Chain A
Amino acid sequence: QKEVEQNSGPLSVPEGAIASLNCTYSDRGSQSFFWYRQYSGKSPELIMFIYSNGDKEDGRFTAQLNKASQYVSLLIRDSQPSDSATYLCAVNPWAPGGTSYGKLTFGQGTILTVHP
């Protein structure tokens, strides 16, 4: 069973701080990694994806990937109350023949609360 685990949360940070969200995955052959944000009662929306080891930055968001440690993280700088949501880590696993048909495995999510 391929698993994706996220830090349990909930995570509470003050406005302006850095929020750090973590995710580990069990399938060493996993190919691509995604962070989705889900506001309460809404559907998930993609905020970051990363394929290669290292950091990828997009505005206030930085995704970090370490395939050797099977670890992916999301940093949110200058956190705002509007960042309060559930963050879902998702992994596109390895599959025979090289294609998984985009069947993502999701973690259980981390609830982030940014308080003023």
Chain B
Amino acid sequence: NAGVTQTPKFRILKIGQSMTLQCAQDMNHNYMYWYRQDPGMGLKLIYYSVGAGITDKGEVPNGYNVSRSTTEDFPLRLELAAPSQTSVYFCASSLAERNEKLFFGSGTQLSVL
């Protein structure tokens, strides 16, 4: 049972480049989330999904896009990368609304130079 799998673990982008952060979970969770964590800060919600085909913005969605074509996958797309997007990105999933437990992926360290 792999849980939540994120790829890549590290990436360096040049300003203006684009990339997709992959996230997959094998726990049949309906709820999935993308958070970013800046140094010394807590996690801020970028986008979330409550099921296949349903996504919505979180607190800091600008510069990002998501899709949820299957229950398992929730990729995060960065368009026109900017230095402000340098951060650690965590994908998470939970079984239900009252998420006693968020299952996190191992994170992606992204640097935009």
Contacts and interface: CB of A to CB of B under 8 A. Distances in A.
A48 B44 CA distance: 20
Interface majority SS (helix, strand, loop, mixed), chain B: loop
B99 A104 contact: yes
Interface residues of B, number: 27
A85 B90 CA distance: 18
A17 interface: no
A103 B100 contact: no
Interface in A21-47: 32, 36, 42-46
Contact of B101 (A43, A46, A92, A106): A46
B77 to A, nearest CB: 20
Contacts of A101: 31, 48, 50, 56, 97
Given A100-B97, A101-B31, A108-B40, 12 more contacts: A36-B102, A42-B107, A43-B104, A44-B90, A46-B100, A46-B101, A101-B50, A101-B97, A102-B96, A103-B48, A108-B42, A109-B42
Interface of B: 31, 33, 35, 40-45, 48, 50, 56, 58-59, 90, 94, 96-102, 104-107
